[in-house]
């Protein structure tokens, strides 16, 4: 199966956005809207809620994120945080990415 050039870009960006989400949540719990705004600022990409929220749901379904709701006035806000599995994966991913950027072989 060959991948069209545009498809490679999309797959790469999706992977990087997933990594960026995990990285943002390493520091603190965030709402989906806060994550979206931070991703836009971090990447410079015009990301839309329709593409970010499915990634959040997917990461939660796979056990990498945990979500919970808080009532604020009349609003219910959903917050996301890293699960222990998410922290572990993020640590491994950072290690591999560092080795790649340094040009070292990953063992």
Note the pLDDT tens digit of each residue in 48-71: 899 899 999 999 999 999 999 999
Per-domain boundaries in the chain: 28-102
Burial 71-93 (b: 16+ CB within 10 A, else e): eeeeeeeebbebbeebeebbeee
Task: Using DSSP bridges, classify how beta strands 65-72 and 30-31 pair: parallel, antiparallel or unpaired.
Answer: unpaired
Residue 1: the pLDDT is 44
**Distance between CA atoms of residues 29 and 1, nearest Å:** 39
Q: Tell me the per-residue pLDDT of 78-103, one tens digit each, with 9 for 90 and over.
A: 999 999 999 999 999 999 988 888 88
Q: Which CATH class is domain 28-102?
A: mainly alpha
Task: Using DSSP bridges, classify how beta strands 30-31 and 75-82 pair: parallel, antiparallel or unpaired.
Answer: antiparallel
DSSP string, 30-99: EEHHHHHHHHHHHH-----HHHHHHHHHHHHHTTSEEEEEEEETTEEEEEEEE-HHHHHHHHHHHHHHHH
Helix (H, G, I), strand (E, B) or coil at 29: coil
The pTM is what?
0.82
């Amino acid at each position: 199966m060959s991948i069209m050039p545009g498809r490679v870009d999309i797959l790469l960006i999706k992977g990087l956005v997933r990594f960026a989400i995990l990285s943002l949540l390493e520091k603190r719990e965030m709402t989906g809207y806060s994550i979206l705004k931070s991703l836009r600022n971090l990447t410079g990409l015009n990301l839309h809620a329709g593409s970010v929220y499915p990634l959040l749901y997917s990461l939660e379904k796979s056990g990498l994120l945990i979500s919970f709701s808080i009532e604020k006035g009349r609003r219910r806000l959903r917050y996301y945080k890293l699960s222990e599995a998410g922290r572990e994966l993020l640590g491994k991913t950072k290690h591999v990415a560092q080795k790649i950027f340094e040009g070292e072989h990953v063992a």
